[in-house]
């Protein structure tokens, strides 16, 4: 929850905040509202006169979720990426991830990206890769990808046989 800027949870928090601002008229209307409300159990018993019940249900739903559970809302930005609010969240996530990478130093690469936020086809991942000036690879398992890059850095041939050994080792928990 701290320092995970650009992650699924980080994006989901911004999505929920944007929907809350839409519902209470503090922010612009967004196509994210309908999508997020589709995830919410709309049966809250908490009633506040003058407050949109959907907002109360949204808040109850969001506060009842662990970060990993709330992250499901992050994928919604891809469904409406032409929406100005969603587009802004996407760009902010890209900027935050780029800042994190910049903190690693000027010379980078190759870089292994893993996770749904930066997967091929993800608007965050696609925009991030466009901004990077290094070799980028995608890994379904970030640990395996990192291990193979580490092996290559040590001069070990990181071919398909090495990949198979690394994956087998990870499966065995060693």
For 40-83, write each residue's pLDDT tens digit. 877 656 667 777 889 989 998 999 999 889 999 999 999 999 99
Report helix, strand or coil for 111: strand
| Number of neighbours of residue 61 by Cβ within 10 angstroms | 19
For residue 87, pLDDT beyond 70: yes
Structure tokens at 59: 């808040």
For 96-136, write each residue's pLDDT tens digit. 999 888 887 777 777 878 888 888 889 999 999 998 888 88
Q: CA-to-CA distance for 72 and 91, rounded, in angstroms? A: 19
For residue 30, pLDDT beyond 80: yes
What's the pLDDT at 88?
97
For residue 174, pLDDT beyond 70: no
Residue for token pair 């990808």: 145
Nearest to 61 by CA among 39, 45, 46: 39
For residue 85, pLDDT beyond 80: yes
- What is the overall mean pLDDT for the chain? 86
Contact 103, 40 (CB under 8 A): no
């Amino acid at each position: 929850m701290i320092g995970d800027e650009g992650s699924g949870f980080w994006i989901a928090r911004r999505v929920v905040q944007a929907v809350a601002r839409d519902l209470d008229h503090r922010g612009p209307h967004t196509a994210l509202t309908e999508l997020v409300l589709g995830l919410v159990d709309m049966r809250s018993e908490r009633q506040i006169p003058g407050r949109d019940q959907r907002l109360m249900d949204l808040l109850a739903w969001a506060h009842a979720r662990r970060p990993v559970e709330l992250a499901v809302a992050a994928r919604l930005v891809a469904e409406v990426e032409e929406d100005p609010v969603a587009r802004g969240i996407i760009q902010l996530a890209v900027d935050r991830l780029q800042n994190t990478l910049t903190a690693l130093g000027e010379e980078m690469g190759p870089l292994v990206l893993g996770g749904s936020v930066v997967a091929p086809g993800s608007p965050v991942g696609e925009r991030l890769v466009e901004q990077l000036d290094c070799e980028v690879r995608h890994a379904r398992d970030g640990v395996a990808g990192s291990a193979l890059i580490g092996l290559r850095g040590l001069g070990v041939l990181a071919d398909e046989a090495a990949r198979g050994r690394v994956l087998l080792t990870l499966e065995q928990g060693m």
